[in-house]
Amino acid sequence: MANIKSEKKRILVRKRNKAQNVPIKSRMRHSIKDCELAIEAGDLAKAKELIKTAFHNIDKCVKNGVEHKNTAARQKSHLMSKLASLEKSGKKK
């Protein structure tokens, strides 16, 4: 445990911020995973629907300062390239 008063406060602030950030980041990860699973299954309509929620959750993470904007851009790019490859292959269920 820290001895300095300001450091004790920083520990509390970090703990509070982590408690706020974990559910937001978890929601983002789950939405990305759901979208990837739909793409792997070949369900184009469901994947397009889930990618909207994934993008919304990724943007929310950036807005709240949980994720860096470049990380979010990379995640979105990966999802879109996977979706494009699904559309290109023509796997429709």
% helix / strand / coil in the chain, to the nearest 5?
A: 85, 0, 15
Identify the CATH class of 24-89. mainly alpha
CA atoms in the 13 A half-sphere facing the CB of 24: 16
Name the token pair of 90.
């023509």
Model confidence over 46-85: pLDDT tens digits? 999 999 999 999 999 999 999 999 999 999 999 999 999 9
- Type of residue at 19: A
Q: Structure pTM?
A: 0.83
What pLDDT score was predicted for residue 51? Answer: 96
pLDDT band at 1; cut points 50, 70, 90? confident
CB contact at 8 A, 93 and 42: yes
Tell me how far CA of residue 51 lies from CA of 22, 30, 58, in angstroms.
Answer: 21, 12, 10
The domain segmentation of the chain, as residue ranges, is 24-89
